[in-house]
Structure 1
Amino acid sequence: MTTAPTLKAGPRTVRGRSGARVPGGLAAPAVAFLVVFAAYPLVYLIGLAFTQSTLAQPLQRWTGFDNFRSALESQSFTGSLWRSVLFAVLAAAVQLVLGTALALLLRARARRPGLLGTLLLLPLVTPPVMVGVAWKLLLAPVGGALNGVLHVLGLPGVNPLGGATSAFITLVVIDSWQWTPFVMLLTYAALLGVPDELREAAALDGAGRRRTARSVVLPYIEPTLLSVLLLKLVIGFKVFDIVYVVTAGGPGFSTTTSTYDIQRTALQEFDVGAAAAGTVVFSLLIGLVTAVVALRRKRHEEVAV
């Protein structure tokens, strides 16, 4: 009688999402990277949020939920949360509509973006601080280029950054000027993947360009649009550069976003514990808002399958 050969245990393996086994040695660098650059900062942030901490002396004394309580009782911080949500949603919606429209126009014009597409991408490669400086000089009430043009035309000058609502809308415009090309680029890449057979079939059914775009092309690239929307929401929540350069959170607190308020709490008031607690609350809010879009995209994928 013969016996089955005994298999010796090989090196430790890790099972991936596809079911394939990966040697543990190959996965070790990725695990170490996650521990150093993700797990450790997260644990340290939570530690700061539950302790009395300053820049010079972090993790001094356990305070429980006192930092969270003071953050949620602060009108400045709670107001910044709603302004951050409004800014992220409004900017993402505007940029998704404009970027998709520009991508459709470029796709209808030619298969390659050409010189026009390159020019449209220039705001995207401009550093955010330079964007803020340029727009602040453009909109300056005294000596600004905008009021200079209005003066030549015999029209009264304006100060878009002088009012609460106008300053907030101006920041949305500036952010849209910079990030709409990003949405356009991703959408244009998705449009290149739409099969020509779908357009030809729609044309045979008598659908024009607008009907084809609305009823055939856009539903086909909807998963990409939802992914772009999700990405833009996260970027919108993180906005800091243009707020810092253009308005510094003013006038009053009308343009103070959560990122700016947290920075001010940590680096101007030196209350790192409260800033850490605000960061945790802000992160939970971002997760709640983005989860809505993520669930919509997941349902779309399930229907498609």
Structure 2
Amino acid sequence: MTRRVPAWLAAPAVAGLALLLVYPTICLVALAVTKSSLAKPLNRFTGLANFTGAFASPAFTPSLWKSTIFAVIVAVVTTLLGLGIALLLRHRGGGFGVVGALFLLPLVTAPVLVGVAWKLLLAPVGGGLATVFKAIGLAGFNPLGSDVGAFVVLVVIHVWQWTPFATLIAFAALGVVRPELLESALIDGATAWRSFTTVTWPAIAPSIWAVAVLELVIGFKVFDLLVVITAGGPGFSTSLSPFVIYQTGLRGSFDMGTAAAQTLVFGLVVGAVATVVTTLRARALKADA
């Protein structure tokens, strides 16, 4: 006999959801349709004027594309690197070990400290890498001084910081692969790649796809590195959406209404991209089943 759980038991969860999700969302929408500043929020109703102002910003619309490109690149690279490193760590046998623990250091370091350390390393004069650049004939080389260079630097630093997370999850997922199945595949003459695609990958695919989705979201919300390393420059080349929204609402005119509208638009973009990725994930897992 099936017993029904009393509905009141869900009250704490519903209250927490309303407090942490519903109420902030209502406030955000209210700010987006009103003339609002830090001093005078919800001053007067403006309809869609804030959304028009959001897209009129010379930095916001390009930032949506840049954020999407950045998030997709770092999600793919960190996931693949994390999987590759996890396979190497598993191949050497045993647990995560000292090497694995040291590898996690970038992940547990505060993003602001990561940004400061890399900015000091990349300084063209007196930086930690200045001698290396000089030795290869690039004296005074400043990758942060060009549009493409600054964007690539942010990608490299983000990948360096978040690959350990992908490695940790992938390493744990590899623990569910049954060794006897791998041994049987080797006995049958399967190559290492064949063993991976037929035995290992079907077992770890759900976890790896989950890592990819998480890395995508983390890539969209990068902010600390921008503030510390590039401040959105040079020009608007590294002005990703979170940084542009921050500048709109908390710098200069403190236009919270337009910043709220930009946040809603950015949220829709993130949701759309995440939906595409999760759809691909569902199809891939269905094909592997």
Q: How would you bin the TM-score normalised by the shorter chain?
A: over 0.9
Q: 2:227 aligns with which of 232, 244, 262?
A: 244
Is 1:28 paired with 2:11?
yes
**Equivalent residue for 1:276?**
260
The superposition leaves residues 260-284 of structure 1 with CA deviations (integer Å, 9 ceiling, x where unpaired) of: 0000000113100000000000000
Separation in structure 2 between the aligned mates of residue 302 and residue 214 of structure 1, nearest angstrom: 15
The TM-score, its normalising length taken from structure 2, stands at 0.94
- Larger Cα Rg: Structure 1 or Structure 2? 1
With 81-90 and 155-164 compared, the bigger mean Cα shift is at 155-164
Report the identity percentage: 53
Q: Residues 266, 20 of structure 1: CA spacing in aligned structure 2 closer, same or farther, 3 A cutoff?
A: farther
Alignment of 1:214-253 (within 5 A): 214-253=197-236
Amino acid at match of 1:172: V
1:172 aligns with 2:158: no
Aligned residues: 287
Q: Structure 1 CA distance, aligned partners of 2:178 and 2:71?
A: 33
- Structure 2 residue identity aligned to 1:267: L
- The alignment partner of 1:249 has SS state of coil
Mapped partners of 2:129, 2:283: distance in 1? 46
Query: How far did residue 141 of structure 1 move?
Result: 1.2
How far apart are residue 218 of structure 1 and its match? 2.1
Q: For 1:143 and 1:301, locate their aligned partners in 2 and report how far apart those are by CA, in whole Å.
A: 50
> Deviation at 1:136?
0.3
Counterpart of 2:185 in structure 1 is 202
CA drift of 1:117 comes to 0.6
Distance in 2 of aligned mates of 1:38 and 1:286: 17
Aligned match for 1:267, one of 218, 240, 250: 250
SS at match of 1:221: helix
Aligned residues of 1:99 and 1:184 also touching (Cα < 8 A): yes
Aligned residue type for 2:167: M
Distance 1:94 1:240 in 2: 19
AA at the equivalent of 1:101:
G
Q: Is the 8 A contact 2:176 2:203 kept in 1?
A: no
Among candidates 115, 118, 127, match of residue 132 of structure 1: 115
SS of structure 1 residue aligned to 2:232: coil
- What SS does structure 2 have at the residue aligned with 1:97? helix
Report the Cα offset of residue 74 of structure 1: 2.0
Q: Deviations over 1:105-141 (max 9, x none)?
A: 0011113111111111111100000000000000011
TM-score between both structures, scaled by the size of structure 1: 0.90
Pairwise CA distance, 1:215: 3.8
Gaps of 5+ in 2: none
- Tell me the equivalent position of 1:290: 274
Task: Give the C-alpha shift of residue 29 in structure 1.
Answer: 1.0
Aligned to 1:108: 91
The aligned counterpart of 1:43 is 26
Structure 1 residue 207, shift from structure 2 partner: 1.5
For 2:61, which of 78, 95, 104 is the aligned residue?
A: 78
Please say if 1:182 is aligned against 2:165.
yes
1:198-234 Cα shifts (integer Å, max 9, x gaps):
2122112211323322443123311111111101100
Q: What whole-Å deviation, never above 9, does each CA across 1:116-169 have from its counterpart, x for those lacking one?
A: 111111111000000000000000111101003334676523101000001000
Change (3 A) 1:154 1:166: closer
Cα distance in 1 for residues equivalent to 2:131 and 2:6 = 66
Given residue 182 of structure 2, which amino acid in structure 1 is its aligned partner? R
Superposed CA offset, 1:82-124 (max 9, x none): 0100110011111111111100000111131111111111111
Q: CA deviation at 1:248?
A: 0.3
Corresponding residue number in structure 1 for 2:77: 94
Q: 1:69 to 1:154 in 2, by over 3 A?
A: closer
Displacement of 1:253 = 0.3
- TM-superposed CA distance for 1:304, in Å, is 6.0
Kindly indicate whether the alpha-carbon contact (under 8 Å) linking 1:223 and 1:300 is maintained by their aligned counterparts in 2: no
Deviating more after overlay: 145-154 vs 63-72: 145-154
Letter of the structure 2 residue corresponding to residue 286 of structure 1: V
